[in-house]
Amino acid sequence: MIHSGRTVRAALFDLDGTLVDSLPTIAEAMSKALAMHGHQVAPRDIVPFIGPPMNVMARDLAHVDDATAEVINADYLRIYHHEFISQTPARAGADVLVRGLHAAGLTLGVVTNKVEAGGHLMLEIMGWTDLFSYVAGRETSEPKPHPEAALHVLRTLGVPPAEAVLVGDTEFDMRCGRAAGLAMTIGITGSRTAADLRTRGATHVVKRLDEVGGLLLGAGARA
């Protein structure tokens, strides 16, 4: 694909809040995990903190040391994978977008701060496993916002950063994409405002996923 004189060969996506509407269930699971350790935090108060690896989020929400945060994170993963992940809906327009990009010949990858197994499971639930060539989780390389999160995937795919884009919904995604030197870093509003995303490095900001298709493929992506 050609965008603004550049060839775009690969599109990297965040999952939570970007392709899947998982923030409410993530918050519910984390709230339950925190409560098991005596920390009462309402799900609505957790949503704005979603973005970094969940052990980091647990540490910051509960004000505990790293070892305790890892224990909370282990309980969160058990609760989330057993009770909530299968209930996750795709974000509006996500299925059309990823299938359209794949059919157009773009290579697709996932760059998530989920554990890698959780990323694969989410793709399986959505029916997208065959559409994505690589899934990088928080333990695959450095987690977002470190640029290595995206660069590792691109090296594996054999695509230079200048021929790739990253789509995400948080400052962790924007900072990752900008630092990696990607052709475009596209922020989708929801958990963060347009101003937040632009300040943190977004080259483009959209409200809906079909706008991402419009940026990369033109109006035909909305069909």
> In angstroms, rounded to a whole number, what is the distance separating the alpha carbons of residues 116 and 48?
22
At 26, give phi and psi (nearest 5°): -60, -45
What per-residue confidence (pLDDT) applies to 217? 85
| List of residues 6+ apart from 35 with CB closer than 8 A | 41
In the predicted model, what is the mean pLDDT of residues 127-151?
96
Query: For 105-128, what is each residue's pLDDT tens digit?
Result: 999 999 999 999 999 999 999 999
Q: pTM value? A: 0.88
At 207, give phi and psi (nearest 5°): -100, -25
The more confident residue out of 105 and 222 is 105
In the predicted model, what is the mean pLDDT of residues 54-76?
95
CATH of domain 23-87: 1.10.150.240
Q: For the purposes of burial, counting CB atoms within 10 Å of the CB of 147, is it exposed (0-12), middle (13-18) or buried (19 or more)?
A: buried
User: Pick from 9, 17, 10, 8: which is nearest to 168 by CA?
Assistant: 17
Q: Is the pLDDT of residue 176 over 50?
A: yes
Q: Do domains 2-22+89-222 and 23-87 have the same CATH topology?
A: no
The residue ranges of every structural domain in the chain are 2-22+89-222, 23-87
In CATH terms, the fold of domain 2-22+89-222 is Rossmann fold (3.40.50)
User: Pick from 164, 106, 156: which is nearest to 135 by CA?
Assistant: 156
> In angstroms, rounded to a whole number, what is the distance separating the alpha carbons of residues 149 and 132?
16
